[in-house]
C-alpha cells in the first residue's frame, strides 16, 4: 500500500496514459463505476463497495505484472506471500483516499486536465502535436470513454495532491540517522563449521507402529490433490496468424521496406589502446611502424592484453562514429592512425573480420510472412475479443464460442500446479500455471474475466467444469514415502541434538578447530561482514542469529539445502564508523522514504477508522481460493 501511494505521488500523467496504463491501474485500481460490479462485495469503504470482479481483475493484473518483471508466481504462491491481502489493501486504500478527497471538496477544472492530456508525449503524432487518432486508439484499447478517462485522471491527480501534502515536508531526525548507520554498518567476524550428516548415526529401522505414527502426524502431506476439470478458450496472436493469408506482393513490398533488418551485419574483433595524450599515441604508432607489436605497445602503456580487446562488434555497436569509421576501414591486422576519441587518443587494430551478408527475398520470405501475419492477427484480437464477450453475454459456453469463432478450446483435469493425475502438464500454454490458479478461484457456473497472455499475445477465458476433491492416501499405498519421511525427520532430530552440544562447547570457549573435527567439517572464519552480507557457508538464519548474540557466544541453524546444520560463534564485533557525506545523504533519503510511508500509513489507518472499512473475509477467502487450500 505504501509503495503504491508513494509511486502515486510522482509521475501522475505517465501512470494514467497508455504507455504505462497497466502500472497505473495496478497501483490505484480501477474505480468500480468504470469496471462494473455485480455479486457480493469483497470490501466496503464507507459507501463504496469493491466487487468480486474488481478484486479479481486487480489480483490478476498484479500476477501479470510480476510475471513481466521476471518474478513468475502462481496464485497459491501469491497467497502464501500475502499478495492477495496486499491487492485488497491497495483497493481499499484507493477508495479511502478518494472519499477523503471528495470530503475536502478538492477539484480540478476540465481545462487543466485537457491541457495536460494534450501535452503528453505519448499522445503526440509525428508532427509533435496532440494526435486525436492516437488518443482515441488508446481509449479503445483501455475500453474507456473520453469522459471516463478524464474522470480517472482527475481522481488520480486529486489523490496525488493529498499524498504530496502529506510527504513533502518529511524531515529525518539526526538521532535516527545515527542509529540506522550503527545498525547497518556494524560488522562482525564469525567463525563456523558445518556438521557432516554421516556424523550422526542412521536411524534404526522403523516398525509399522512408528511409521503409522509418522503417517498420522503428517497426514496433510499424504493426500491426492484436488483436481479441477477446466475449459480454456484461447485467443492468441500465434493461433490467429495461422489462418492469415499474406499475398506475395505484400511480402515483397514489406521485405524491400525493411530489407536491412534481415541482413547479417559485418562484425570485427577490435583491439584498442587509449593514451593519455596525442604525443604518446603518435610515439606508439611510430614504434608499431618500426616493428614493435601492438600487444607490446599496450603493455608498455600499462594496459593488460585482455583489456585491449573490445570484442566482436558490428559497426553500429561502436559508440563513436570516428572510431567506428576507422575500425571498419582497416584491413585485418592493420593498425590505424591516431584517432581522437571522447576518452582520449586511441590506436586501433583489427584482429578478425566476419563478413556480413545481404539477405535475399527467398531467404527472408518466411520471416516476413510471420511478421506480417502477426501484425494482421494483432489487429484482429480486439474484434475477436468483442465477439467472445458478446457470445458470453448471450449465455453461450466457451466451447460453443470457440466452435463459432474457430478458436482453440481445450479441457483437462488439473491440480493447482497445472499437473494431471499422472504428473504430466495439463495445459501446454504460456503461463499455464497462472491460468490454472485462476480456475482454482472459480465456482462452477460463474464467469471469470480473461487472463492476459505474456507479452500482450492475447487472452485466455477459463471456466470450471467440475471438481474432484482432495482425498487422503491410504497408509499401505504410501508406506515407502512414509519411511523416507521418518528417516529424514529422525536424522534432522539427531543433527539438532549434536548441534546443541557443539554450540555449548563453542560458547564455553573451546577451540573451533577441535569442534570442527568432531562435526566432520572444516573450520571457517569470515571477513568482517554486515547484517546484509551473505557469506558462503552461512545461511540467512545463521546470520540473523549471529547479529543478535554477544561476542563469544554461539548458535546453530539449518543449512541452505536443509540437509544438515551449521554451528557458529561470534568472534569479534566492530562498531560502525562515522558515515561519509555521501553515505549520510543516501541513508537520509532512504529513511525519509520510510518515514513518509509511516505518515501515509497512519493517515490511511485514521481514514479507514473514520470511514468504517469493512472486509468481507468470507467472500474474500472464497474468491481467492483460500478456503479450498485449507480443506
User: pLDDT digit string (tens) for 235-286?
Assistant: 988 888 887 888 888 888 878 777 777 778 889 999 999 888 899 999 999 9
Distance (Å, rounded) from C-alpha 380 to C-alpha 378? 5
Predicted pLDDT at 34: 36
Q: Do domains 2-170+593-630 and 225-243+376-470 have the same CATH topology?
A: no
Q: pLDDT (tens digit, 9 = 90+) per residue, 423-433? A: 899 998 877 88
Instruction: Compute CA distances 63 → 19, 337, 453, 599, whole Å.
Output: 19, 56, 11, 28
H or E element that contains 261? none
Predicted pLDDT at 451: 85
Q: Is the predicted pLDDT of residue 625 greater than 70, yes or no?
A: no
Instruction: Compute CA distances 299 → 74, 199, 293, 307, whole Å.
Output: 55, 54, 10, 10
Domain 225-243+376-470 architecture: Roll (3.10)
With bands split at pLDDT 50, 70 and 90, how would you rate the model's confidence at 308? confident
Distance (Å, rounded) from C-alpha 216 to C-alpha 228? 27
Q: How many alpha carbons fall within 13 Å on the CB side of residue 419?
A: 9
Predicted pLDDT at 48: 80
Q: How much is the average pLDDT of 441-445?
A: 82
For domain 187-222+477-574, is the CATH number 3.10.50?
Answer: yes
Predicted pLDDT at 18: 34
Helix orientation angle between 208-217 and 479-507, rounded to the nearest 10 degrees: 80
Q: What are phi and psi of 3, to 5 degrees?
A: -60, -40
Q: Is the predicted pLDDT of residue 81 greater than 70, yes or no?
A: yes
Q: pLDDT (tens digit, 9 = 90+) per residue, 91-123? A: 888 888 878 877 888 777 878 888 888 888 878
Predicted pLDDT at 22: 34
pTM confidence score:
0.50
Pick 81 or 563 by higher pLDDT: 563
- Percent of the chain at pLDDT exceeding 90: 36
Distance (Å, rounded) from C-alpha 471 to C-alpha 224? 5
Predicted pLDDT at 411: 94
- Smallest CA-to-CA distance from 26 within 45, 11, 7 is with 7
Q: Is the predicted pLDDT of residue 31 greater than 70, yes or no?
A: no
Helix (H, G, I), strand (E, B), or coil: what is residue 220? helix
Predicted pLDDT at 33: 35
With bands split at pLDDT 50, 70 and 90, how would you rate the model's confidence at 70? low
Q: pLDDT (tens digit, 9 = 90+) per residue, 344-388? A: 899 999 999 998 888 888 878 888 888 888 788 777 888 888 889
Predicted pLDDT at 142: 58
Highest mean pLDDT among 162-176, 254-268, 344-358, 535-549: 535-549
Angle, vertex CA 481, rays to CA 478 and CA 483, nearest 5: 110
Mean pLDDT of the chain, nearest integer: 82
Out of 1.25.40, 1.10.4030, 1.10.3470, 3.30.1760, which CATH number does the structure's domain 2-170+593-630 have?
Answer: 1.10.4030
Fold of 264-354: Chitinase A; domain 3 (3.10.50)
196 is written with which cell numbers? 557432516
Residue spans per domain, the chain: 2-170+593-630, 187-222+477-574, 225-243+376-470, 264-354
Q: Is the predicted pLDDT of residue 136 greater than 90, yes or no?
A: no
Q: pLDDT (tens digit, 9 = 90+) per residue, 7-22? A: 333 333 333 333 333 3
Q: Is the predicted pLDDT of residue 496 greater than 60, yes or no?
A: yes
Longest alpha-carbon distance in the chain: 90
Predicted pLDDT at 161: 79
Tell me how crowded residue 384 is: count the other CB atoms within 10 A of its CB. 18
With bands split at pLDDT 50, 70 and 90, how would you rate the model's confidence at 481? very high
Beta bridge partners of 232: 410, 462
Amino acid at each position: 500500500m505504501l509503495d503504491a501511494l508513494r509511486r502515486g505521488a510522482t509521475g501522475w500523467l505517465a501512470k494514467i496514459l497508455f504507455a504505462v496504463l497497466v502500472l497505473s491501474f495496478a497501483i490505484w485500481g480501477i474505480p468500480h463505476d468504470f469496471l462494473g460490479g455485480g455479486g457480493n462485495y469483497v470490501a466496503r469503504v464507507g459507501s463504496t463497495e469493491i466487487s468480486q470482479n474488481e478484486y479479481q481483475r486487480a489480483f490478476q493484473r498484479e500476477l501479470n505484472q510480476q510475471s513481466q518483471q521476471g518474478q513468475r508466481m502462481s496464485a497459491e504462491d501469491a497467497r502464501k506471500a500475502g499478495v492477495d491481502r496486499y491487492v485488497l489493501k491497495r483497493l481499499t486504500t484507493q477508495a479511502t483516499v478518494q472519499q477523503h478527497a471528495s470530503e475536502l471538496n478538492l477539484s480540478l477544472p476540465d481545462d487543466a486536465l485537457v491541457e495536460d492530456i494534450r501535452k503528453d508525449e505519448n499522445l503526440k503524432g509525428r508532427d509533435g502535436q496532440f494526435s486525436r487518432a492516437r488518443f482515441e486508439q488508446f481509449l479503445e484499447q483501455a475500453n474507456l470513454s473520453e469522459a471516463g478517462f478524464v474522470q480517472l485522471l482527475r481522481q488520480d491527480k486529486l489523490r496525488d495532491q493529498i499524498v504530496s501534502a502529506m510527504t513533502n515536508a518529511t524531515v529525518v531526525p539526526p538521532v535516527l540517522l545515527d542509529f540506522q548507520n550503527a545498525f547497518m554498518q556494524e560488522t562482525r567476524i564469525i567463525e563456523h563449521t558445518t556438521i557432516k550428516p554421516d556424523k550422526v548415526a542412521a536411524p534404526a529401522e522403523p516398525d509399522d507402529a512408528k511409521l503409522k505414527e509418522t503417517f498420522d502426524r503428517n497426514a496433510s502431506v499424504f493426500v491426492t490433490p484436488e483436481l479441477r476439470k477446466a475449459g480454456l478458450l484461447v485467443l492468441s496472436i500465434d493461433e490467429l496468424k495461422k489462418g492469415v493469408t499474406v499475398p506475395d506482393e505484400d511480402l515483397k513490398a514489406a521485405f524491400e521496406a525493411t530489407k536491412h533488418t534481415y541482413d547479417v551485419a559485418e562484425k570485427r574483433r577490435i583491439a584498442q589502446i587509449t593514451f593519455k595524450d596525442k604525443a604518446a599515441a603518435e610515439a606508439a604508432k611510430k614504434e608499431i611502424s618500426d616493428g614493435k607489436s601492438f600487444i607490446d605497445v599496450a603493455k608498455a602503456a600499462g594496459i593488460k592484453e585482455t583489456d585491449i580487446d573490445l570484442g566482436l562488434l558490428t559497426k553500429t555497436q561502436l559508440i563513436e562514429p570516428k572510431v567506428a569509421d576507422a575500425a571498419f576501414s582497416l584491413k585485418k591486422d592493420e593498425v590505424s592512425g591516431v584517432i581522437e576519441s571522447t576518452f582520449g587518443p586511441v590506436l586501433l587494430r583489427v584482429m578478425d573480420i566476419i563478413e556480413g551478408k545481404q539477405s535475399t527475398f527467398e531467404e527472408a520470405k518466411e520471416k516476413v510472412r510471420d511478421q506480417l501475419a502477426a501484425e494482421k492477427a494483432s489487429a484482429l484480437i480486439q474484434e475477436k475479443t468483442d465477439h467472445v464477450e458478446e457470445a458470453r453475454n448471450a449465455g453461450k459456453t466457451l466451447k460453443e464460442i470457440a466452435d463459432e469463432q474457430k478458436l482453440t478450446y481445450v479441457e483437462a483435469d488439473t491440480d493447482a500446479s497445472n499437473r494431471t493425475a499422472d504428473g504430466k502438464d495439463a495445459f501446454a500454454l504460456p503461463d499455464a500455471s497462472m491460468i490454472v490458479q485462476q480456475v482454482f478461484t472459480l465456482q462452477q457456473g460463474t464467469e471469470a474475466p480473461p487472463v492476459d497472455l505474456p507479452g500482450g499475445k492475447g487472452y485466455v477465458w477459463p471456466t470450471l467444469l467440475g471438481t474432484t476433491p482432495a482425498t487422503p492416501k491410504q497408509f499401505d499405498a504410501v508406506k515407502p514415502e512414509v519411511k523416507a519421511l521418518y528417516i529424514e525427520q529422525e536424522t534432522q532430530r539427531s543433527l539438532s541434538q549434536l548441534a546443541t552440544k557443539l554450540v555449548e562447547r563453542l560458547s564455553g570457549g573451546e577451540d573451533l578447530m577441535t569442534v570442527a573435527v568432531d562435526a566432520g567439517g572444516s573450520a571457517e572464519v569470515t571477513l568482517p561482514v554486515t547484517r546484509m552480507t551473505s557469506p558462503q557457508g552461512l545461511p540467512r538464519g545463521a546470520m540473523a542469529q549471529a547479529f543478535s548474540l554477544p561476542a563469544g557466544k554461539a548458535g546453530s541453524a539449518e543449512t541452505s539445502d536443509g540437509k544438515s546444520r551449521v554451528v557458529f560463534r561470534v568472534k569479534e564485533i566492530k562498531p560502525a564508523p562515522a558515515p561519509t557525506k555521501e553515505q549520510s545523504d543516501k541513508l537520509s533519503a532512504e529513511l525519509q522514504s520510510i518515514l513518509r510511508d509511516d505518515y501515509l500509513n497512519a493517515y490511511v489507518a485514521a481514514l479507514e477508522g473514520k470511514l468504517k472499512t469493512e472486509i468481507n473475509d468470507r467472500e474474500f477467502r472464497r474468491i481467492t481460493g483460500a478456503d479450498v487450500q485449507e480443506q
